[in-house]
Amino acid sequence: MEASYRVSIGGRYTRHLALAGALVVALLVALPAFAARSLIEDLIFVFYMLALAQYWNLLAGYAGLISVGQQAFVGLGGYLLFALAIMAGLDPLVAIVLAGVIAGLLALPTAFVVFRLRGAYFAIGTWVVAEVYRLVLAQWKQLGGGTGTSLPPEITNTVSGIEGVKALFDVRTSAARDMILYWAALALAAGTVAAVYLILRSRHGLALAAIRDSEPAAASAGVDNFRTKLSVYVATAAGTGMVGALIYLQKARISPDSAFAVLDWTAYVILIVVIGGIGTIEGPIIGVLVFYLLQSYLASFGTWYLILLGALAIVIMLFAPKGIWGYVSERFGLVLFPIRRRLVRPGDAP
Amino acid sequence: MTAWLDALLQGIMLGGLYALFAAGLSLIFGIMRLVNLAHGDLIVLAAFVVLVVTTALGLDPFLAALLAAPLLFAFGYALQFILLNRTLGRDILPPLLVTFGLSIIVQNGLLEAFSADSRRLRAGSIETESLSLGGGLAVGVMPLLTLASAVLAILALNFLFYRTSLGRAFRATSDDPETAQLMGIDNKRIFALAMGVAMTVVAVAALYLGMRANFDPTIGPARLIYAFEAVIIGGLGSLWGTLAGGIIIGLAQTIGARIDPEWQILAGHVAFLIVLVLRPRGLFPRAVD
């Protein structure tokens, strides 16, 4: 009997790529042992922006849900962390996970409102909902109301594992705290990339790609569009909430205006995704590196730096809407995270 | 009782201001479905233009706005023709991102040029005058003038929209851009004219923004949200709907503030969300999205 055709994901180099990816992660895990503390702090920023960008990319690039209100879940995550750590006395690392879960639950009533809207209305609706969360949390007097509050040092300095790290690396409390936050951020970023990759490789990823390409066609092929989009919205809200909790654990100071800032947590994130390449996993990774380099070299120019970023957003969208990775992968046929299914002839190499 | 009547009255007047913020947005959103996230910053930019004209020529703000209007028309025409026309299409991400970028540029450009100080357009004694309505009720002349200007602006836009050949071209491109083009309408030029008209309305909005309260380069995005809420509540393509939307936001804000001053803005947003849950396409939609 003749061997049959098979469906295969990935190519000849997939295994090498996986190995290289594992090596990069291992190197990043070991980094705090020898890197300068400023680099560690910078990388925490890179990791949480990368995670936010991956979530927004999944939402907009795949599920077609263009939200300008993801700062709602960053802010909720931050505030939930403060509430859980200060009022409930939870360990901050546990509180990060729990904050994500609660943010995901809060995404359900949010979706009840915004999912009635489409396209531009959805975008504006999500922004208004984020403003509502900001104004409601500004009423929370125990957490400082409109001016916000700080995490007391006895909470930030008693993150679980901090004594072990101090003894192992012979560092002071603040440096040890940075290391733990670094690993937490790395775990969150790497976990996000891995989770997004696995989702996109799965049956659900196929459904998402179908929705992205044509909603009516997806529906006619048996995809439950509403359910798929809702799951993505809730999952990204939970992830974004966890990132928000981590961000404000590191900052140790929260206020409604900063936690729900549309510029920091949505505009920059959209910019990162679009610079790198929307609708790809590689795009946000490249985008966040470009954004970090721009910021570290130009941020001291203040308003001129922001004007440059605005101009960059316009130029990229008009002249290179597929972003850097879109260009590179088209030109050189390169794929780092293969999700495309190919038909393999019997006898061909996998 | 008088307090509540007063809140009602002030809310309607405030709604006039929001309708002015929203009228230009409603026009371009209705005609070309452009989500202009820079609209609030463009209002602030216009307020600075009026401010510069008043101080440079020593003019009254009303006259200065009259002089600024053609400048802003030309600016809007050029902005649409050179930049924003390239972003139009089925995908809403390009206009969203480009106008986000524009918003950042305008805001920071104004900060660089004028610093973060609060400014005000001085209109003299008219700012504080009020008319007594009897029964302890009074309305300020300035809020009344704002509402009257909003009604006038919408009357003028409706005249343009339904009684002129340009308006017919506007409606045709709004309904079906491809067919309009087949009929010999140059969509790009029509869109540029629409943005020019919108910026002229923005000049009026900026005048009242600057005369009624202090402004600085950072207040644009909040104005944008009120304007969008008014447009969406009113329904796509309906200018009277936009006025109604502005008044609903204004009423919700003043009534909310009467209950607790901290609830003012929140009450406006909640009213918007309630309308959307009940009528996702707004109250009086004319065009189909």
Percentage of chain A modeled with pLDDT above 70? 97
**Residue of chain A with shortest Cα separation from B265:** A135
Residue A12's pLDDT is 66
Position B85 in a domain: yes
Residue A331's pLDDT is 84
Average pLDDT over residues B262-266: 92
Residue A348's pLDDT is 65
| Whole-angstrom distance, CA of residue A31 vs CA of residue A40 | 8
Contact between chains at A263 and B112 (C-beta distance less than 8 A): no
Size of interface A-B (CB pairs under 8 A): 117
Please name the helix (run of DSSP H) or strand (run of DSSP E) that holds residue B196, with its range, or none: helix B187-212
Residue B114's pLDDT is 95
Q: Tell me whether A26 touches chain B (CB under 8 Å).
A: no
Please name the helix (run of DSSP H) or strand (run of DSSP E) that holds residue A149, with its range, or none: strand A149-150
Question: Rounded to an integer, what is the distance from CA A92 to the centroid of its chain?
Answer: 20
What pTM did the predictor assign?
0.91
Measure in Å the smallest separation between the Cα of A63 and chain B Cα atoms: 13
Q: Which amino acid is at A78?
A: G
Position B288 in a domain: no
Q: What is the CATH number of the domain that holds B193?
A: 1.10.3470
Q: What DSSP line would sit under A191-259, residue for residue?
A: HHHHHHHHHHHSHHHHHHHHHHH-HHHHHHTT--HHHHHHHHHHHHHHHHHHHHHHHHHHH-EE-HHHH
Q: Using one digit for the tens of pLDDT, what is the confidence trace for B100-117?
A: 999 999 999 999 999 999
Residue A3's pLDDT is 62
Measure in Å the smallest separation between the Cα of B69 and chain A Cα atoms: 26
Residue A256's pLDDT is 95
Give the CA angle between residues A209, A212, A214 to the nearest 5°: 105
Residue A35's pLDDT is 87
Contact residues, chain B, for A118 at CB < 8 Å:
289
Contact between chains at B229 and A128 (C-beta distance less than 8 A): yes
Position B102 in a domain: yes
Q: What is the domain range of residue B17?
A: 2-116+138-278
* Nearest in space to A134 (alpha carbons), one of B276, B26, B21, B262: B262
Contact between chains at A125 and B100 (C-beta distance less than 8 A): no
Measure in Å the smallest separation between the Cα of A135 and chain B Cα atoms: 6
**Is residue B40 within 8 Å of B223, Cβ to Cβ?**
yes
Measure in Å the smallest separation between the Cα of A244 and chain B Cα atoms: 22
Q: Using one digit for the tens of pLDDT, what is the confidence trace for B202-242?
A: 999 999 999 999 999 999 999 999 999 999 999 888 899 99
Residue B289's pLDDT is 55
Contact between chains at A306 and B108 (C-beta distance less than 8 A): yes
**Is residue A323 within 8 Å of A275, Cβ to Cβ?**
yes
Measure in Å the smallest separation between the Cα of B51 and chain A Cα atoms: 22
Output the average pLDDT for chain A: 89
Contact residues, chain A, for B28 at CB < 8 Å:
none
Contact residues, chain A, for B225 at CB < 8 Å:
124, 127-128, 131
Percentage of chain B modeled with pLDDT above 70? 99
Higher-confidence residue: B201 or B286?
A: B201
Choose the most confident range, by mean pLDDT, from A343-347, B264-268, B276-280: B264-268
Q: Predicted confidence band at B73 (pLDDT cuts at 50, 70, 90)?
A: very high
Residue B176's pLDDT is 85
Contact between chains at A318 and B232 (C-beta distance less than 8 A): no
| Whole-angstrom distance, CA of residue B13 vs CA of residue B143 | 5
**Is residue A274 within 8 Å of A280, Cβ to Cβ?**
no
Contact residues, chain A, for B111 at CB < 8 Å:
303
Q: Which amino acid is at A333?
A: G
Measure in Å the smallest separation between the Cα of B236 and chain A Cα atoms: 10
Residue B288's pLDDT is 59
Contact residues, chain A, for B92 at CB < 8 Å:
66, 119-120, 123
Position B252 in a domain: yes
Residue A104's pLDDT is 97
Residue A343's pLDDT is 75
| Residue in A117, A128, A270 nearest the CB of B269 | A128
Neighbours of A320 (CB within 10 A): 14
Residue A53's pLDDT is 97
Position B124 in a domain: no
Classify A338 in phi/psi space as left (phi over 0), alpha (psi -120 to 50) or beta.
Answer: beta
Please name the helix (run of DSSP H) or strand (run of DSSP E) that holds residue B132, with its range, or none: strand B130-134
| Residue in A120, A139, A311 nearest the CB of B262 | A139
Average pLDDT over residues B24-36: 90
Position B283 in a domain: no
Structural Rg of chain A based on CA atoms: 21
Residue B17's pLDDT is 95
**Is residue A65 within 8 Å of A233, Cβ to Cβ?**
yes
Which of the residues in chain A have pLDDT under 70?
1-3, 10-12, 347-350
What's the number of domains chain B is made of? 1
Contact residues, chain A, for B270 at CB < 8 Å:
132
Q: Tell me whether A139 touches chain B (CB under 8 Å).
A: yes
Measure in Å the smallest separation between the Cα of B47 and chain A Cα atoms: 20
Neighbours of B134 (CB within 10 A): 6
Residue A230's pLDDT is 95
**Is residue B72 within 8 Å of B203, Cβ to Cβ?**
yes
To probe the interface with B, which of A134, A212, A317, A322 has the most B CB atoms within 10 Å? A317
Q: Is A261 helix (H, G, I), strand (E, B) or coil?
A: coil
